[in-house]
Amino acid sequence: MFNFDELIRNYIKREEHPKKIGRYYPSEIGGCLRKTWFSYKHPKEPEADLLKIFEIGNIVHEFVVDVLKSEKNPEVELLSAEEPFSIKMKDFIISGRIDDLILVKSSNKKVLVEVKSISDINTVKDAKPQHKMQLQLYMFATKIRNGTILYIDKKNLRSKVFTIPYDESAALYALERFSLLHKHLIEDTPPPPEGKMDPKKSWMCQYCEYKDECDKIDGVKINGKNKKN
């Protein structure tokens, strides 16, 4: 009668909006800068399976919003969801949306909540560095110094919450990374391959859609042959 997989693909397919040099997003800066550079210089259409993962994340966040604003949970008040923000630098703008802002009634504190869906909550022992960096930017931009990262398991909705104290030096470091990215984009020079340089970040290369292009830049040898022309 009908192919529902095809209906899903049609539904989640995104309109093409090429990235513009000079406008950057907080979720990009905690990963490998070279990958982000490639996404501006040589954009690729996301694969259907990746779009499905993004859509699941959106569905999970909608559920989190419903939980936070429910009258069944009077200890918290949802003040805003998907709140836009921007940081204007000298030569570029950082913009995005903050997942949630809540008021914790017991302490009368406003708290930023960054929501991340995950495949297995048991693997989460601490908040990921790239997520911490993203939240630091939000706290810097909003001047709200209380932040949490909420991980939600996509299979069973189990969760873990990590309180992240504001660290101005971490926020300024993130801004420095944006400045470095902007410099490399303007000069049309690829940044260092951070995923290759730091063993702790090597996992980034495994799933990177720009791995072949990156290897060509660095002259990586495969099967004894140098890929660099």
Q: What is the pLDDT of residues 29-52, one digit of tens each?
A: 999 999 999 999 999 888 888 888
CA 71/CA 214 separation, integer angstroms: 51
Q: Which of 8-22, 134-148, 151-165 has the lowest mean pLDDT?
A: 8-22
**Residue 117: its pLDDT value, please?**
96
**Residue 135: its pLDDT value, please?**
97
Name the nearest CA neighbour of 36 among 218, 173, 216, 195: 195
Instruction: Tell me the mean pLDDT in the region 109-133.
Output: 96
Q: What is the pLDDT of residues 77-119, one digit of tens each?
A: 999 999 999 999 999 999 999 999 999 999 999 999 999 999 9
What predicted TM-score, i.e. pTM, was given to this entire model?
Answer: 0.88
Structure tokens at 23: 């406008």
Q: What is the pLDDT of residues 180-214, one digit of tens each?
A: 999 999 999 999 999 898 888 888 898 899 999 99
Higher pLDDT, 227 or 65: 65
Per-residue confidence at 18, pLDDT binned at 50, 70, 90? confident
Instruction: Tell me the mean pLDDT in the region 3-17.
Output: 80
**Residue 48: its pLDDT value, please?**
80
CA 129/CA 197 separation, integer angstroms: 16
Q: Does 2 have pLDDT greater than 90? A: no
Indicate the domain borders of the chain: 20-217
**Residue 218: its pLDDT value, please?**
83
Which of the listed ranges 147-151, 207-211, 223-227 does the model predict with the highest average pLDDT? 147-151
* CATH class in words for 20-217: alpha beta
CA 81/CA 214 separation, integer angstroms: 37
Q: Does 223 have pLDDT greater than 70? A: no
**203-211 CB contacts, 8 Å cutoff, 24+ apart:** 204/31, 204/32, 204/35, 205/32, 208/32, 208/35, 209/44, 209/47, 210/34, 210/35, 210/38, 210/39, 210/42, 210/44
